[in-house]
Chains A and B, each alone.
Chain A
Amino acid sequence: DAGITQSPRHKVTETGTPVTLRCHQTENHRYMYWYRQDPGHGLRLIHYSYGVKDTDKGEVSDGYSVSRSKTEDFLLTLESATSSQTSVYFCAISESDGGQPQHFGDGTRLSIL
């Protein structure tokens, strides 16, 4: 068990509201990722982190920001949620020095009305 906890697991909110999703790991892995999963698309990388305060953009980063103030926590924020951001969001970690997301959380199902 890689010890990845995502919260909340489900959220329904309205367009234009800010939303923050949290990912917590119990082990001190350096690399953490945020992905979204949508029907007809493979998992797509939003942002990733390679250490405290070290983050970078993925392929679908527009409209999202992240923060990592502690090794164990990686936050994803939607500053002003839009309906196109309705999705299932997964956090992942890499046990190796980046590259491959090896362990995933169980996801946050986010609906934006």
Chain B
Amino acid sequence: EDQVTQSPEALRLQEGESSSLNCSYTVSGLRGLFWYRQDPGKGPEFLFTLYSAGEEKEKERLKATLTKKESFLHITAPKPEDSATYLCAVFSGGYQKVTFGTGTKLQVIP
């Protein structure tokens, strides 16, 4: 059974204080790993797809990396508007098999 574990569950940062969120996974045949951002009362917003170990993607202050066992979402000099819950999900073989983690709730304090 595919498993996705995100840590920490919650993270509080000062504005400008860089940090990383972790997504560790166990899957049989990774086809892709996805990162989403979710604001309260909203649906997830797609951020990145990573397909193979060593791949990196960047968007503004966010950078996602992937190894064979985990992915990191690095947040550089965060701003209060980066506050959200960040979700990780893995896509493995078979029918539409996407397994989501429970998310990391990030709060950035001015």
Contact = CB atoms under 8 A, between A and B. Distances in A.
Contacts of B100: 42-44
Interface residues of A, number: 24
Interface in B3-48: 4, 31-32, 34, 41-46
B62 to A, nearest CB: 17
A41 B34 CA distance: 17
Query: Could you tell me the dominant secondary structure of chain B's interface residues?
Result: strand
Contact of B43 (A99, A100, A106): A106
Nearest to A105: B43
Interface residues of B, number: 22
Query: Could you tell me the dominant secondary structure of chain A's interface residues?
Result: loop
Interface of A: 4, 31, 33, 40-45, 48, 56, 58, 90, 92, 98-107
19 contacts: A4-B43, A40-B102, A41-B102, A42-B101, A42-B102, A42-B103, A45-B98, A48-B96, A56-B95, A92-B43, A99-B31, A100-B32, A100-B34, A100-B49, A100-B91, A103-B43, A104-B45, A107-B41, A107-B42
